[in-house]
Amino acid sequence: MPGAVLLGGARIVPPVARNLARHGVKVCFLNNEVCEARFSRYVNCFLRCPPPEDEEAFVEYLVTIAKQKQMEGWVLFVSNDEYLRIFKHYRSLLSGYYTVTVPPWEIIRFFYNKRLTYSLAEKIGIPIPETYQPETLDELLSLDIDFPAVLKPAVTHRLLSTVPHKAYRADNRRELQHLYERMCRHIGSSNVIVQEYIPGEAGVLFSFAGYFKKGHPVAGLSAKRLRQYPSNFGKLSTFVETVTNPELEKLATQLLSSIGYTGLAEVEFMWNENHARFELLEVNPRFWAWHELTLAAGLELPYLAFADAIGKEISFDTARDGTKLIHLFTDIYVAVQEMYLGKLTARRYFASLRGKPSVALFSLKDPLPFMLEACLLLHRALHKLASGKTGI
Strand partners, 338: none
**pLDDT tens-digit profile of 316-347?**
778 888 899 999 989 998 999 999 999 899 99
Residue 201 is predicted with a pLDDT of 73
Are 273 and 326 contacting, i.e. CB atoms less than 8 angstroms apart?
Answer: no
Separation CA 227–CA 94 (nearest Å): 38
Note the pTM of the prediction, 2 decimals: 0.92
Angle at which helix 368-387 crosses helix 328-340, to 10 degrees, equals 50
Lowest-confidence range among 195-204, 250-259, 289-298, 331-340?
195-204
**pLDDT tens-digit profile of 237-248?**
999 999 999 999
- pLDDT at residue 210 is higher than 60: yes
Separation CA 349–CA 328 (nearest Å): 13
Lowest-confidence range among 45-49, 161-165, 253-257, 268-272?
161-165
Instruction: For residue 57, name the pLDDT band (cuts at 50, 70, 90).
Output: very high
Residue 384 is predicted with a pLDDT of 65
**pLDDT tens-digit profile of 3-50?**
999 998 778 999 999 999 999 999 999 998 878 888 999 999 999 999
**pLDDT tens-digit profile of 292-317?**
999 999 999 999 999 999 999 887 77
Q: Is 358 helix (H, G, I), strand (E, B) or coil?
A: strand
Q: What does the pLDDT average to over 257-276?
A: 96
Domains and CATH numbers, the chain: 4-102 (3.40.50.20), 130-196 (3.30.1490.20), 201-361 (3.30.470.20)
**pLDDT tens-digit profile of 1-12?**
899 999 987 789
